[in-house]
Amino acid sequence: MPLRDLYLLSPEISIVGVAFIIIMLDLWIERKGLLPILTIVLLGLPLGFTISLWGTEEQAFDGVLVVDTFSIFFKVLLIGVVTAVVIASQETAARFRRFQGEYYGLLLMATAGLMLMAATRELITIYLSLELSTLSAIALVAFFKDTRSTESGLKYLVLSGVSSAIMLYGMAMVLGVTGTSSLVEIAKAAPVSSLADNPALLLGVVFIVAGFGFKIASFPFQMWVPDVYQGAPTPVTAYLSVASKAAGFAVLLRVFYLAFGDFSSDWSMLFGVLAVISMSLGNFAAIFQTDIKRLLAYSTIAHAGYILIGLAAVASRVPGGEAFGPQGVLFYLTAYAFTNLGAFFVVIAIANKIGSETIDDFAGMSKRSPLLAGLLALCLVSLIGVPPAVGFWAKLYLFNAAVQADMVWLAIAGAINTAISAFYYLRVIKVMYLSPAPTEERVRLTPPIGLAVAMTTTGVLFFGIAPWFLLDFAIRATSGFPG
């Protein structure tokens, strides 16, 4: 039934439609300040469609598009993230003389790609949606057109090109071995019970991990992260660190549980090793950073490592039981979205005023703006994983999943890394609270970015005190998860 199919695709259709409307309106509207407001109002449309689909378990377009609670969970998360980023972008975008409409349009296009990534069961569509989001993101990274931004754009482009070529090679191998591009059919057609028995399939799986590893910023495709995060406009950095990671993990979960679920004992160890390397590498490199954006970039790599624990802990699912691993991943991604967006928004609010992103320039921020310093401290504490912030519960669930899956070494590695990470997060807090301020000049919070900061930090505190609201959604989203 084609009309029903279109309705199931309506969140993506409407968000692309909104993107086009914003780009068109940019040509007529003189007061560019209206554009973000219109974007946020119109974003209610895809959000409404998405929420109206909650509870449906259907497929459309011959099983290419799948609408289930899992994909809707991610769609709501992604629309929420893009809304917050649009609010926080206002001051940054106001600095462009032209192309403000394109800026918001590209953000929405990237979101459309990521939403589709979370909602598909077919290799060609995975590739296309991945490229839709990546190409939009590249254009956004290079949006400032100065030397730094261009350099970031080039690095992002080359590395994304290489990683997607490697991923495609892997997909071609899988397609050759199984003769189909549908994830469900791949699981049925896989000729062997262990990856070690079929080198072509093994090569395919490893190469596909490489492609998604780029999206989630995990080892061995992490080297683009610091440079791109530093050079890109800060709201875009915030968006990339949260949204593309979330969708990347959604598609990883989907591909590996659905298509390669029979080989879980093979890839669970692979993800476990990647998790440990990612978090150690990210945490150690972050210790030496002087730029707050680079620090958060390395912390992003470390967090990709923590979340990979949830993928490695696949054995925590007993048949008919709860899927602790995927639940933990979904919970962590949401918690991380609130926390990391909050941290980045505070950095934007401060950097817009003091014109610097060096950690030392944040000295004495507790005097210059007690509120902003306190909120940044809250977000950093949540990134460490200290109660009552939401980051504590997120880490707890993931480490619990590792223990349930008899991978205690993974939980221990995570705990050690958490201790290491506390060092550099706390250093930022120390500089803000204990170092003397260079000037007494106050740093004021302006309304649009203040709203974005308030939204995210409220989430950090609220879900930190009452995590079961979020956990309930995560459990429901993974309940129909293929075991």
Partner 1 sequence: MIELEYVLFLSAVLFSLGLFGVLARRNAVMILLAIELMLNAVNINLVAFTVYLSPDLLVGIIFAIFIITVAAAELALALAIVLRLYRTRSSVNVDEVNLMRW
Binding stretches for partner 1 (CB under 8 A): 123-124, 127-128, 131, 135, 138-139, 142, 145-148, 150-155, 157-158, 161-162, 165-166, 168-169, 171-173, 175-176, 179-181, 226-227, 230-231, 285, 288-289, 294
Measure the CA angle with vertex 233, ends 24 and 246; round to 5°.
85
State which residue, 80 or 233, has the beta carbon closest to partner 1: 233
Least spacing, CB of residue 219 vs partner 1, in Å? 15
Least spacing, CB of residue 427 vs partner 1, in Å? 17
State which residue, 124 or 408, has the beta carbon closest to partner 1: 124
Contact 151, 139 (CB under 8 A): no
Measure the CA angle with vertex 188, ends 265 and 314; round to 5°.
25
Least spacing, CB of residue 278 vs partner 1, in Å? 16
Q: What is the chain's alpha carbon radius of gyration, rounded to the nearest angstrom?
A: 21
The two tokens of residue 85 are 């980023």
Nearest to 61 by CA among 6, 99, 98, 131: 6
Element (H, E) at 67: strand 65-67
Least spacing, CB of residue 302 vs partner 1, in Å? 15
Distance CA 28, CA 394 (A): 45
State which residue, 26 or 227, has the beta carbon closest to partner 1: 227
Least spacing, CB of residue 308 vs partner 1, in Å? 22
Residue with tokens 């940054």: 92
State which residue, 155 or 317, has the beta carbon closest to partner 1: 155
State which residue, 50 or 152, has the beta carbon closest to partner 1: 152
State which residue, 73 or 224, has the beta carbon closest to partner 1: 224
| Preceding amide of 388 cis, omega within 30 | yes
Distance CA 211, CA 61 (A): 25
Nearest to 297 by CA among 220, 210, 390, 232: 232
Least spacing, CB of residue 160 vs partner 1, in Å? 8
State which residue, 127 or 212, has the beta carbon closest to partner 1: 127
Contact 230, 293 (CB under 8 A): yes
Least spacing, CB of residue 312 vs partner 1, in Å? 27
